[in-house]
Structure 1
């Protein structure tokens, strides 16, 4: 099987596809709805290896298509819960590795930053308000045959 759309990038060793939506800018909940239209979800980055793969394979492809990074940011599927823990929305699990946070992050500025974005220019993460509009990263798991 293949990815649901031609613009998705496949990581063959895990049968996972990724799509950085760089056209629409949406609040986090709308971005999640859009991913689900393609049977995907906002990306869950399980470990440093997956993070490195995304930063090394998907982000450079995106940047080259538009002539270099332009400071865009992309939602992922990580949110702060009421107990101040970071959980993946897909399966409600607590993040199991330190993450790829930018310096000084997460900082929960004004106690309102409960969602996470990836900076295109660095691949680093930042906590933001969920109602702010950003691009987003969808993930799709190719079903076993």
Structure 2
């Protein structure tokens, strides 16, 4: 899908002010501006609101190609961060994973870690990407100090 996005990374104390990513998810189109220290950290509900103030939404992975690209991109920007939040959740109906912004289902082809999602303690309703294990996991949505990725559509020329 040809779509230019800007990924804003609020990763622990690292926040990228602007990073434009090409539609084909293979190259950086423009540049990643200098990282600035960001003292605020959020739970995923607040992170979703923070993305909206930037004109975007929490990351919505469309397929494993985008998942793999996002992993590589975040690793280059943030190094060995533990995990980052996405817009995936099953808050409305357990085991029915959808995205906050679009309401679209999380594609079944997007690979979760083995045994995940497991809804541990019957309270894990939000989707995160665990960097060290290179896969998706479910956690509580009120988990504090979450790192996250915002996706901001900018339009794209083919």
Give the TM-score taking structure 2 as reference length.
0.73
The offset of 1:3, in angstroms, is: 4.3
Q: Is the 8 A contact 1:4 1:38 kept in 2?
A: no
Alignment of 1:59 onto 2:59: no
| Paired residues for 1:98-109 under 5 Å | 98-109=109-120
Deviations along 1:99-138, one digit per CA (max 9) or x if unpaired, are 2312221100111100011123343111011111111111
User: Which stretches in structure 1 are left out of the alignment for 5+ residues?
Assistant: 64-68
CA RMSD of aligned residues (A): 3.0
**Residue 124 (structure 2) aligns with:** 113
User: Is the partner of 1:101 in helix, strand or coil?
Assistant: coil
Work out which of the residue numbers 140, 150, 153 in structure 2 matches 1:129. Answer: 140
Q: Which has the higher helix share?
A: 1
Work out which of the residue numbers 19, 23, 28 in structure 1 matches 2:44. Answer: 28
User: Which stretches in structure 2 are left out of the alignment for 5+ residues?
Assistant: 9-15
Q: Which whole-Å CA distance do the structure 2 matches of 1:128 and 1:7 have between them?
A: 26
